[in-house]
Amino acid sequence: MAKICGKLKEGRLMHRFFIFFTLAFTTHAQEIRRTPLTLTQGGTPETPAVFDGKGMIIDLGIDVTSHDWDKQGDVWISRGPFENHPPVEDVQRAALFIEEVPIRLVRDRAAEKQSGETGKVIFAAPSTLQPGQMSFKPDGTVYFRWPAGKTPGSSKIFLPPAGLASCVNIACSYLTIKNITAIHAANDGFNIHGHRVGIRLENVKAFSNGDEGISAHETVQMDVVDSEIAWNGSSAGGVADVGDCITTYTHCEAHHNLGAAFFFDGKSHRITRCRIHHQTQDIVVRGDAVVEQSDNEWLKP
């Protein structure tokens, strides 16, 4: 077990190095896309269309490291709100990242209940935050406590974009998407709504998005292979497939997501030869979703 933990720790450091070295290096080789990508041109069942990103990185993050922060030990408070970033009431998603790490948004549920007001939103006070948690003042001022493993002042701080943008929106059928990294969306890294069939994701990476890394809805049929889903901020999972969708994940890796690795509330799903680590939960099934599993590896840190 000690050897496994050591390998996982080393792997985590290598993942961090890979992400940020890749981002720094590719600014010279190719521009990082800073706007969402919407794909609307599909093919046919016999000849699916292919969108090869060839290593494309879509990063919607806003670097606010140099903002004038009020630094109170490991609790940092923004001096006023950030433009177009009002308080986020939905604690399902993360609204801030320290490097790759999503910061969990928390509300004071006891105080909300005590208020007696229906729909009352009261965020947790700065002094009550645990490492890796954040909240808002009513005017949108952000405050957070630095997560474990990150030293105040030595790591970059990112906001997701205003609104609920996803990095990649799939709006057609019979389409294969490959070789894309999706980072820092306010919503999902890869988002699929509607009746979309014949969708295939190959060698994609969904890192540090506010909600899920990959999320299929309604009656989507999708296969995901050789892909990685990590550090996403959804309280549901790094992957969350819901509605009446049918999805498969083969030879994928999921780790360090705030929620489960996989969350399923769709029609049927299959997970094969996937590797799950640094997760408090591996696979969560809700409702009557049918989930088949085979040859998966779940390693506890």
Percent of the chain with pLDDT over 90: 86
Summarize pLDDT for 31-60 with one digit per residue, the tens.
799 999 999 999 999 999 999 999 999 999
Percent of the chain with pLDDT over 70: 89
Q: Domains of the chain by range and CATH?
A: 31-60+164-299 (2.160.20.10), 62-159 (no CATH)
Residue-level pLDDT at 1: 43
Q: What is d(CA 195, CA 171) in angstroms, rounded to the nearest whole number?
A: 9
**In the chain, where does DSSP find H-type helix?**
2-29, 109-115
Q: Which range has the worst mean pLDDT, 147-151, 198-202, 248-252? A: 147-151
What backbone torsions phi and psi does residue 109 show, to the nearest 5 degrees? -65, -35
Tens-digit pLDDT profile for residues 163-218? 999 999 999 999 999 999 999 999 999 999 999 999 999 999 999 999 999 999 99
Mean pLDDT across the chain: 91
List the structure tokens of 63: 């670097």
When pLDDT is cut at 50, 70 and 90, the band that residue 299 belongs to is: confident
| Residue 210 DSSP SS3 | coil
CB neighbours (10 Å) of residue 66?
A: 8
pLDDT for res 300 = 73
Q: Is the pLDDT of residue 5 over 60?
A: no
Q: Is 174 left (phi over 0), alpha (psi -120 to 50) or beta?
A: left
Beta bridge partners of 71: 76
Give mean pLDDT, residues 114-143. 95
Say what the pTM is.
0.89
Query: For residue 301, what pLDDT band results from cuts at 50, 70 and 90?
Result: low
Nearest of 207, 222, 191, 210 to residue 255 by alpha carbon: 207
pLDDT higher than 70, residue 24: no
> What pLDDT is stored for residue 30 in this prediction?
59
Residue 2 confidence (pLDDT) above 90: no
